[in-house]
Structure formats: C-alpha cells, structure tokens
A and B are shown apart, each in its own frame.
Chain A
Amino acid sequence: MNLLDPQGPVAAANSTILIDSVFIMLAIVVPTIFAILAFAFWFRASNPKARFQPDFVYSGRVEMVVWAIPALTVVLLGGVAWIGSHQLDPAARVPGTGSPVRIQAVSLDWKWLFIYPDQRVAAVNALTVPAGAELNIQLTSSSVMNVFFIPQLGSMIYTMNGMVTKLNLRADNEGKLQGLSAHFSGDGFPDMMFDVNVISPLSFPDWVANTAKTGSVLNEDSYKKLMQQGVEKGKPTYRLADPRLFDLIATQHIPPGPGPELVSDAGRPHSGGVDAR
C-alpha cells in the first residue's frame, strides 16, 4: 500500500506533487536547521572566538530576507497547489482505454458495497475493475461518514448519507491492491479493508458474467439486511435486481442504517461490532 508505488495516473500525479513539494521545502528547511544548530553551537557562551554583538537586534536587510524566503516558497508551492487542485479534482474525468466503468460505492456499517449498475452486479468488500479503463465512481453512505481510499490508486473521498460524492480513478496494472476506509466509523471500522482486483479488460466481461450467474440477488430487502451493523469476513457477490438501488439509498428512499441494537437503557450499550466478532 506504499503511496510512492502508484498503480494509476491519479496516484502517480498525487505522489509526484507530494515529492516535489517536499523537495521545494527541504531546499530551505535543511539550511535553516543547519543554521540553527551552527549558530547555537558557535555562539555558545564558552566559545571565546565568537563575537558578542548584543546590539545586533534589528537589520532591515535581514528582515527583508526572512520575510522573503518563506513568502517566495509559498508563492511557488501555492502555484503547485492551485494547478494540482484543478488537474487532480476528484470529480474530473480520467480518460482511459475502452469504455468507462461506472461504479457506485456505498459504505455500510462496517463493509463496502460496490454496485455496477450497467453490468447489474454488485460485490461486498471486493472491487473488481478492468486495467486501463476509466472508473467513474459515485459514492454515498448508508449511515455514518467514511472515506473511500485505495492508496495506490490515489485521491480519497468522503461518503456521506443522503449525499453523493464523485471520484474518478484508473488502475493501470493488473494485480491485487487494497483499499480501506480512512475515516473512523465505529467499532467495526478496522475491518473495512477491501480488496481491489485489477484484471485484464478481456476477462472483465467474464467476471461480470460469472458474478451475474452465481450471485444471490441484491434488492431492497437483502440490502437492508446487509446494512445492519456487523463485520463481513467473506466477499459475497450479488446479481443486482434494480439498477436504481444506489439512487434509492442516496436519496434516502431507503432510510439510513440503524445504529447498535440497544440491550439496555444504561450507559454502555453492547453494539453490533462486539457480537459480530
């Protein structure tokens, strides 16, 4: 999950900006740290060779330089930030080969549901995508906030109930990556890691066909069961009954997920996460 080992153009651009910014800053940070240590050492009271200048308390030139150095660095980095924010806007499309794949991600307590509305399939805790294709991801949450993040593909984004966020990614190399939730969401939060299977564009239709054949059905009822609090250790797949399921969730036609079941009115409810383990 190394951020410096990107597997797609977004992550590559993110990490380039990250590294560039660090080097721009190191260019002034390293000399400054060196100067601090050098001055502290040389002007120690026990050094008779250091010249004591108690009246050196103002210098217009020095002031100009010390305001200018950080200001110039910020001008440079500000440019990087402005251009980078626009080029890497998560909502901006990332062109790829073949037809784009639409994915609708829903964060549940505490698992990820990935819906492929065009292919009419869905999967939990495993995202399967064709290499090189443009991925248009829409995201929402069934209950609390989460953040969808695949470190080696780049840019993360929040999921929120009753709202849809957009993210565009591309995975360039076949292989297995990992994703996670990057915003704390309750007891089962650490189990919200998911697999990202990047497969060849040629075998993607086969995967869709197999999933559609073998999976159980995902409709409103089975979704409501899925959104109960709990951890899902397996990676179940589904045939999608209604391609509008995501819209029903995002528009709250399906009400937000319930919280923990209350066992007593007292201060310490035992929540689903405990039972789920």
Chain B
Amino acid sequence: MLGKLDWSAIPFDQPIPLIAGAVVLVGILAVLTWVVVKGHLPYLWHEWITSVDHKRIGVMYILLASVMLLRGGSDAIMMRIQQAIAYQSQGYLPPEHYNQIFSAHGTIMIFFVAMPFVIGLMNLVVPLQLGVRDVAFPTLNSVGFWLTATGALLVNLSLVIGEFARTGWLAFPPLSELSYSPGVGVDYYAWSLQISGVGTLVAGINLVTTVLKLRTKGMNYLRMPMFCWTTLASNLLIVAAFPILTATLAMLLLDRYLGFHFFTNEAGGNVMMFMNLIWAWGHPEVYILVLPAFGIFSEVVSTFSGKALFGYRSMVLATMAICVISFMVWLHHFFTMGAGPDVNAIFGIASMIIAVPTGVKIYNWLFTMYGGRIRFATPMLWAVGFMVTFILGGLTGVLVAVPPADFMLHNSMFLVAHFHNVIIGGVLFGAFAGFEYWFPKAFGFRLDERWGKLAFWFTFTGFYITFVPLYVAGMLGMTRRMQHYDVAEWRPWMIVAAVGMAVLSIGVICQIMQLVVSIRNREALRDRTGDPWDARSLEWATSSPPPVFNFAFHPDVRGEDAYWDMKIHARQQSLEHEELEYHDIEMPRNSPTGFVCAFFATIMGFALIWHIWWMVILGGIGAFATFVVFAWRDHDEYVIPAAEVAAIDRFNLEERRSLVSMAGVI
C-alpha cells in the first residue's frame, strides 16, 4: 500500500534533522495558522498563489530562493563546524549525515537558491525593461514557479522522511546506482531535480520568447538594456542545456527503477558517459547563473556612475560569445580521467578562451566608471566588491583550466574555493545587488542603506576569511568532502574558515535586519517617483510598484537607455501637460493551474520516490487533467477599463511630475 515507506523512514535516532524538521514544521504551521486566523488566505490565493503577473511570480521566486538560502547556509555552517573539529576524531556528524549535508548543500544552493533568484529577478524586471505588460506565457510562468517550489519541497521533505542523496550534488554513478546507494536519497535528488527541471525549462522558453517576440515600439535588439541581453543568453542556455540534465537523470532513474544499465558497472554501462552528459549540462549551467548577474552589474554600474554602459555593443558580443563557447568546455571537469593530451589541451584552451569575453566585460565596467559620478549606494558596493572578487575567481579558474595544474588541484579544496569564489562573488553578489537595486521597484520603498552596507561589508570580508583558507588547504593537498582527517597542517585553515563562516552569517543576519528595519520604516523610505536611483532603463519609467498592466501606454523607444532619453526630453520640453487618451487594457486572468499542477506533481514525486504506484498514477492523472482543464478554458483575459487605467496612471504621473520638475531645475 505504501511502497517502501514505513516508520523506519523517520530518523528517530538522529536528533539534528529531527529537531530541525520539527522547528521548520512548527514555523510553517504557525505561519499557516496566522494566515488563516487573520483571514489572509483569500488575499494570498487571489493575489499571489494563482497570480500570473510576472512581477508577483518574480517576487515569489526570490522569496523561495531566500528561504532556501537559509537552509543551504545552515548546511554550510554545519560542514564548516564539522571540518573545524573533525581532526583525528569523528566530529559531531557521522558520515551518513555529513555526506547528505554536502550533497544537499550543493543541490540546494544551485537549483533552489541561485536558479530561482536569478529567474525571479529576470521575471520581475525583463518585461518592464522591454516596455511590455507581461511575459509571453503568463500561466506557464506560474507553472514553472510552482514546479520549482515542488522540487524544493521534496528536498526538504527528505530531511525528515527518509534521507537525501549521500553522493555529492551531481550523484556520480556507480556510487549513485542502486547497488551502492540502495536508499531513497538518490531518488529524492533525482525526482526533485526532474520536476523542478521542467519548471526551469518552462521558465527558459518563456523568457526567450518574451525577449524575442515582445518588445515595445522601437526597442530593437541593439537598444535592449544589457540585462535583457544576458537574460536572452542565459535562457537560450537553459533551453539548450536543461534537456540534457533531464535525459541524464532519466537514464539514471531507469537504471535504478527498471534495471537498465546506462551507468552501471555491469552489462556494458559506462560511468564516463554520465560524467560527459552531466557536465555538458553542468558547465553551461554555470553561465546560466552568472550571465544574468553580469547583466545586473551592467545596469548597476551604469546607473550609479551616471553614464551609459561603456562599449555596449562589445558587451553584447561578449555575452553571446560566452553563451556559445560555454557549450564547448565541459571536459575540463575531468581532465584527470585519462583522456589523451590532445583532448585535454584543446578543452583547456577552450576554457581559457571564455575568459576573454569575461575579461572584456570587467574592463567595460571599469571604463563605465571612468569619467563617471559614482554614488556608492548599496548595489554599487556589491558591484565593486564583485569586480574585485570575481577577477580572483577568474584567475583561479583559468589556473585549473591548465591541465597539468588541474592534475594537482582537481577535486581539491582549492577547487571548492574557486567555484565558491565565482558563485558567491559573481552570482550571489549579483543577486544581492539586483535585490537592493530593484526592491524599490517591486515594493515601492527603498531598503535601509545602513543595514545594507553592513551586510555588504560582513559578507565581503566573511567571504575572504572563509575561502582564502580553503585555497590554502587545497595547496596543502586537502581534497573535498572529507568527513574527518588526520593531517595536522590542514587543521588551522579549517578553523579560520569556520570563523569566516561566522562572519558570513552576520552578513546574512544584517540582510534580514535590513528587510525588517526597511519594512518598519517604509513610509519614510517610500519611493513616489518610480525612479529612486536616477536610472536609465524603462522599468523606472513606471510607478513603484508598477500597476498590474506595467505601462498605460507602450513606451516609444528611440535609442539605448530609453528612460534616460525620456527624462532629458521631458526636461527640455519643460514637462508640458498633454491630455492623454486612455484605452482599455486586456490582461491575462489569474489561474490556479500552476499551483494545482504542482500539487499533483508533489504527490507524484513523493510516490515515485517511495514506490507507491497507485499514488503515482493518481498524481500523474491529476497533473495531466489540470492541463486539460486549462487547455479548454473559455476566457483567459479580463479587461481593465480605460477609466481605471486613466485614474491609476494620472495619479502616478502627477506624483512623478511634481518630483521631476523639482529635480529638473538642477
């Protein structure tokens, strides 16, 4: 009846996950009770859960990423403490627990923090920057988000029901095959990634279509803000790379569920094929994450320097070059597998070539600052911190692209330090910069600068105190994923890294404090202009937060930095009050399709993990039926009458005019 599921699946003998799980459960129940008792449920259902508004979905993506960042961060803290104390002892985490933690940390940070964070920002901002009213497929957008949430839910469920993978975040066979990992851990891993992978693919298709097909008047490709270009590149990579991941995991699952032999030791299975396939997805994935961050920094550096982006066309070229080359370098993840010197050298050089467009980007940001008037608001601090940190990450990255150097550094703590250097220094700093930069747009008030700057400085220094020691440990021969060790010379570095982790945690606390303080002081921090940073692209041309239809009129774009031109234009024409003629606007209706579909997908995923076949069928039929019902819908749009549009827009315009005319004197 319940497949493999019985009481032994609950880890009563392991206090840490049990207590953690209980705390989370109590927290969730408390929030739910509060929501129901206070009567917020209808609001949540109508305005958020069933919303197909790209801004709301973007916010929900970022919320999911933030919550999962705390989970992944807790894993990181546990690992750093374990390695600080597990010298000539077992530490406090037994291997079966420690191994789950580092596997979960990697999986969560990549798939459920970095991905939803950047996808959330793209969702929130790109339609606004393009001057349009929504993404190409609004309901699909909601489906994508909720399927991602399903994946995150399944990963967290493994904390208290069963176990998570103990194989590392890429679940290399044959270790991840049934004979060596008979538990449900790898199944939790694979099914949560399969389900959230569908969500990511859907989001990718949606954003590619949006950028290619939905642009306002005059917004041709070479007038798009840099963030739209990096969004295009990143989502093209998603569309091309995620099917590889899905296929690879499908093969692994066939091995595990139906006795196939794709990657087994026996019957002609080939583990090296898994390595190739997973990295054929895995390397583009790195660029899927970092390209949007590059876009964010381009916007931030240009806005806060008070200049257009230097070498815009060169940046576009560099972005698309990275997009293409990132598919040709995957083999550098396993130089040490014994491929011949020709193969190694060619892939090594290809990997270095990627550093060229990346270097060009750094220099173009540098020259954007040159001759600027730089305001060091929090997003700009993140941007400068990123430039310095990312160059060092790039240096160590090119270093491990040299095969003979990689022969000594592969899988070492040096490598761990390197990829955290680029993912924290690149993606996370970018996500934080984007969060600070676009928060006023999403919610209508700014974030507190003092706490924001504190968060930056603690995170920035904490990062170096944590990861420089890991570089050193790697140079001392330490490899990754050690639950305990007996080598005395590694110990001091592990202790310093644990201290750094504490500093990083203070950074995260400051970030939370910033949010709390800003929400409390929101009236004082209110942004009535819609343009708090004196910025340049179209998202700032509408109010903060934007009305559901984003723009009452599709903006007419006449060059790069569309909104900057409008501002200059408006000042020159001394803000004449022309009477505008408003029209009805049709917007997509909210739909519970995404939520219901994800609900059934969760049931199906859980049942697949535990071999509860009747429930698999139930979940599968439910998810499919949801789509069928949606496909037979009669109305999918509703009309906002011209009078209402006019009322909203006139109010916003008045607010803006009064402020612009004050500022326009300058």
A interface list, Cβ under 8 A from B = 1-4, 11, 13-15, 17-18, 21-22, 25-26, 29, 32-33, 35-37, 39-40, 43-45, 50-54, 56-59, 62-63, 65-67, 69-71, 73-74, 77-78, 80-82, 84-92, 143-145, 147, 149, 151-152, 154-158, 160-162, 165-166, 178, 180-190, 193, 252, 255-256, 258-260, 262, 264-271, 273-274, 277
Contacts and interface: CB of A to CB of B under 8 A. Distances in A.
Nearest to B269: A162
A162 B265 contact: yes
B356 A70 contact: yes
Interface stretch (B66-74, B283-291, B347-355, B576-584): B347-355
Interface string B266-289: 100001100000000000000000
A90 B338 contact: yes
Contacts of A161: 174, 265, 271
Given A155-B404, A189-B483, A190-B482, 13 more contacts: A1-B487, A22-B395, A25-B395, A25-B399, A36-B369, A43-B305, A52-B306, A74-B352, A90-B338, A154-B408, A157-B337, A180-B479, A267-B9
Contacts of A258: 179
A81 B408 contact: no
B511 to A, nearest CB: 22
A180 B411 CA distance: 12
A51 B371 contact: yes
Contacts of B402: 17-18, 21, 77, 80-81, 84
Interface in B230-266: 265-266
Nearest to A271: B96
Interface stretch (B219-227, B309-317, B421-429, B631-639): B309-317
Contacts of B307: 53-54, 56-57
Contacts of B185: 267
B494 to A, nearest CB: 13
B338 A143 contact: no
Contacts of A82: 345, 348-349
Q: Which of A11, A43, A262 has the most CB of B within 10 A?
A: A43
Contact of A32 (B8, B342, B344, B362): B362
Interface of B: 4-6, 8-9, 11, 90, 94-96, 99, 161-163, 166-168, 172, 174-175, 179-185, 265-266, 271-272, 305-312, 314, 334, 336-338, 340-342, 344-345, 348-349, 352-353, 355-356, 358-360, 362-364, 366-376, 384, 387-388, 391-392, 394-395, 398-399, 401-405, 407-412, 475-487, 489, 610
Contacts of A266: 4-6, 8-9, 162
A74 B362 CA distance: 16
Contacts of A32: 362-363, 366, 391
A277 B310 CA distance: 61
Contact of A40 (B166, B374, B411): B374
A33 B11 CA distance: 50
Contacts of A14: 404-405, 407-408
